Structure 1
C-alpha cells in the first residue's frame, strides 16, 4: 500500500485528504478530495495553499483519478483544469508538466511518479534548510511574511524551514511574524507553526514592519516565493515588496527561500508574472461583520513582485544564489 503524509496532506492508496488551512488554528479539519472540481475549489479558497503543496496535491490527485480508472484523455483534461486553478504559483505548472507525459501509462506508473514528486519536495526542503543555516547567527532576529513551513510543503518548509533548522542547531532565532493581509496566513499559520516548534516569536501588523527596521530590531528577512523569473524577479504574497524596499533602505539582508521547482526560466521578468486578484469580500467583511460600506471598490492582489535588485540572495536546493543569471541557464 502506497501512502505519504505531510503536515497538511495525506495520500493513501488512491485517496487524497487535505488539512483545511482555513480552519486553523482553532480547528483541525481533514477533508477528503472528492473530484477535480472539489480540489480546484479547495485550492482557490486557500483551504490548501503554498506553491509546493498545491503542485503536489495536483499530481497526487491525478494518481487518485488514474487508480479510479480514468482514461488518459480524462486525466489530461483534469491536469489542464488543475493547472488553471491558481495563476501565480509556478510549482503547480512545473509538477503537472513533469507528470503529464506519463498520463497514458498505467495507474501504478502514474502513482509512482506522483509519489516521487512528493518525496522530492521533502528532500528539497531539507536541502534548503541546510543551505540557509549559515546565514543565521545566534539570537538572530528574523522577519518573515506569509507562511512557509510544513503547512505549504511536503517537508519542513522553505523560509520557515530554515528557521526551524536554526532552532534545532541551538541558534535560538527570534521571529517577527507579519500577520499577512488579507487572510492572516502569518497570524493563523506561521505563529501556529512557530509555537509548535518552540521558536520565540511575536506577531505584528504588516504596517508595523517599518518601525521595527527603523529601531534596528531586524537582522535578517527571509521569505518564500511563488515564482522566480529568469531575471530573478520574485513573486510572493502581497506585502513582500514593501519588506524588500525597507530592508534595502535600512541595510538589512533580504533573502528568498524556495526550491528550484519555483523557478520559471520561460518568464522573463516581473511584467510577465500573472498576479491573482483576490475576492473583494476578503477586505469588505470578516465573517458576518461588515468592515467597509457596501459597494466599496477594492484592490486586493494576492501577490506582488520583488525585483532582483532588492534581493540579497536566493536560498535554494541548488545552493545560495547571488547572481540571478543562474535562473535563466
Structure 2
C-alpha cells in the first residue's frame, strides 16, 4: 500500500543538473508512488502517450521541459542548424497525443521564443528556453491556485461536489483545476463531500482523484459512471466541477469521455455544472466542439486493462474515444484564472482574454 502522500510531490519537475524530466508515474497509482527521471526524448514522448503523465496542463509543462531538454542536447554553432534540430524535436513531441491543446500551446510558445531570440549565441538561447519552460511551470501553479479561488467562491462548508476524471494536482503541477477549490478549501479548514466518477476505461477518477481527495482528508465516495444520475437524484450533489482538454470559442468543451453525459444529467437535475479551464486550454481558433480532434485509444484499455483475464470476447469491436465534448448550453460557467466566463461564451471568453491581456501590461 502507498505510504507517501501524493500531494507532497510536484507532478512535473525539471532536474536541470541531471538533464532530466522528473514526473510522478501515474500508471502506478494508487498503489505506489514512483518518481521517475526521463532523459531521452523517446521516453518523454512515451510518458505522455501511455499516460505516465496526463492532464492537459501537466502535458503542457512536460512538453516545455521536454523541448528545453532536447535543445540542451543539440550540438551546433549556427542558429540554422540548431533550429532545424529543435524543430524536429518539437514536431516529434507534438505527435504524442492529439486532443489536449496545451501540448501544442506549450511547444509553440517555446518555438516562438527560439525564433524571436535567433540572434543570441546558442548557449544564451538555450538559457532563454530554460527560463521560458520554468515560466510555463510557474504560470501553471499560479493559474491553478487562481482557478481554485474563483471556484471556492461558489461553494461552502459541507457542500456535495461531483467530479469526473482527474483534474486535480495530478493533472497539473500543483493544486489542479477542478479539484483546486477543494484543495484550497481544505487549507482553510473547510470540509466537503466529494463524489468521484470512476471514469472508465482508465479509471482516473477511482485511481487518481480519489487518492488526491483521501490524501487531503476529504470525505470521498467513488461511484461508477452510471451511478451519477442516482447520486444527483438523491440530492447529494450541489455542484459539479470538471476539467477540460480543450475549449472551443463557443464554449463547447472537450474532456474525458463521459463528461457530456454528466453535463446532460446536471442540466436535467438542475445541478450547476462548471468547467475549470486555464486560458491555455481555450482554443479560440476552434469554432465549435465538432471541430476538436478526438483521440481514439487502443481497444485493450476496454477489454483487458485492470482485469486478470480478458473480459470481452476475442474479435469483438471496441469503440474507445478518450474524450467527448459538452455542448456550451449545458455549461453553467467556465472558471479560468482570470475570472468566470458565463453564456454567451463567444463574448465572455473574448473578455477573459482581454482581462488577461490587460493584466500582463
Q: Which TM-score band (shorter chain)?
A: over 0.9
Q: TM-score, normalised by structure 1?
A: 0.95
Structure 2 CA distance, aligned partners of 1:265 and 1:112? 26
Aligned residue for 1:92?
A: 103
Q: Which of 319, 333, 339 lines up with 1:319 in the alignment?
A: 339
Structure 2 CA distance, aligned partners of 1:8 and 1:166? 20
Larger Rg: 2
* Structure 1 residue 101, shift from structure 2 partner: 1.9
Trace 1:29-108 onto structure 2 (pairs within 5 A). Answer: 29-70=34-75, 71-103=82-114, 104=118, 106-108=125-127
* Structure 1 residue 87, shift from structure 2 partner: 0.9
Given that 1:136 and 1:166 are in contact with CA atoms closer than 8 Å, whether structure 2 keeps it comes out as no
Given that 2:333 and 2:340 are in contact with CA atoms closer than 8 Å, whether structure 1 keeps it comes out as yes
Q: Which of 7, 10, 18 lines up with 2:10 in the alignment?
A: 7
- Which segments of 5 or more consecutive residues in structure 2 lack a partner in the other structure? 1-7, 76-81, 352-361
RMSD, aligned CA: 1.5
Displacement over 6 Å in runs of 4+: none
Structure 1 CA distance, aligned partners of 2:221 and 2:334? 25
Give the secondary structure class of the aligned counterpart of 1:112. Answer: helix
Q: Which of 203, 206, 209 lines up with 2:225 in the alignment?
A: 206
Moved more, 38-47 or 111-120: 38-47
Aligned residue for 1:186?
A: 205
Task: Describe the superposition over 1:111-158 as per-residue Cα deviations: whole angstroms up to 9, x where unpaired.
Answer: 011111100101101110111111002211000011111111012110
Give the secondary structure class of the aligned counterpart of 1:207. Answer: helix
Q: TM-score, normalised by structure 2?
A: 0.87
* Structure 1 residue 264, shift from structure 2 partner: 0.1
Q: Which of 237, 257, 260 lines up with 2:256 in the alignment?
A: 237
| 2:242 aligned with 1:259 | no
Q: Which of 11, 26, 33 lines up with 2:31 in the alignment?
A: 26
* Structure 1 residue 37, shift from structure 2 partner: 2.0
Given that 1:278 and 1:301 are in contact with CA atoms closer than 8 Å, whether structure 2 keeps it comes out as yes
- Which segments of 5 or more consecutive residues in structure 1 lack a partner in the other structure? none
Given that 1:238 and 1:304 are in contact with CA atoms closer than 8 Å, whether structure 2 keeps it comes out as yes
Task: Describe the superposition over 1:73-126 as per-residue Cα deviations: whole angstroms up to 9, x where unpaired.
Answer: 111111112122111100111111111022355211110111111001011011
Q: Which of 325, 329, 352 lines up with 1:305 in the alignment?
A: 325
Q: Which of 212, 216, 219 lines up with 1:197 in the alignment?
A: 216
Structure 2 CA distance, aligned partners of 1:247 and 1:170? 28
Q: How many residues align?
A: 325
* Structure 1 residue 170, shift from structure 2 partner: 3.0
Given that 1:164 and 1:199 are in contact with CA atoms closer than 8 Å, whether structure 2 keeps it comes out as no
